[in-house]
Amino acid sequence: MTRRNWSVQDAKNRFSEVVDAARRAPQTVTKHGMPTVVVDVEEYERLRRLERASAPSFAEVLLTMPQDDVEFERRDVRVRDLDL
């Protein structure tokens, strides 16, 4: 059976084992009992491909900007207070 949960301390002390186990199944590293990271290269690569496929390119963003003298909607944002 492949271990799936590691405390940060165990993961640090047995890093090679974490890497070997991650080649077989995703491994979770916990800190203070809470999941902190998951080691799974295949899932990471799948998510990156999905992100790249759904994110507009810089050129696409530029092409959506109004051209000529057309007004465009401005976001109503609050300026943060600076303590000088």
Give, in degrees to the nearest 5, the angle at Cα 12 between 8 and 17: 105
Q: How far apart are the first and last CA of the chain?
A: 58
* Cβ 18 vs Cβ 41: under 8 Å: no
> Tokens at residue 16, please?
């090679």
Residue with token string 């002390």: 13
Instruction: pLDDT tens for the chain, 84 residues: list them.
Output: 567 999 999 999 999 999 999 999 999 999 999 999 998 889 899 999 998 888 888 888 888 877 777 777 788 888 888 777
Q: What domains are defined for the chain?
A: 5-63 (3.40.1620.10)
Q: Give the C-alpha separation, 22 to 77, whole Å.
A: 44
Q: Give the C-alpha separation, 26 to 49, whole Å.
A: 18
Name the pTM for this structure.
Answer: 0.56
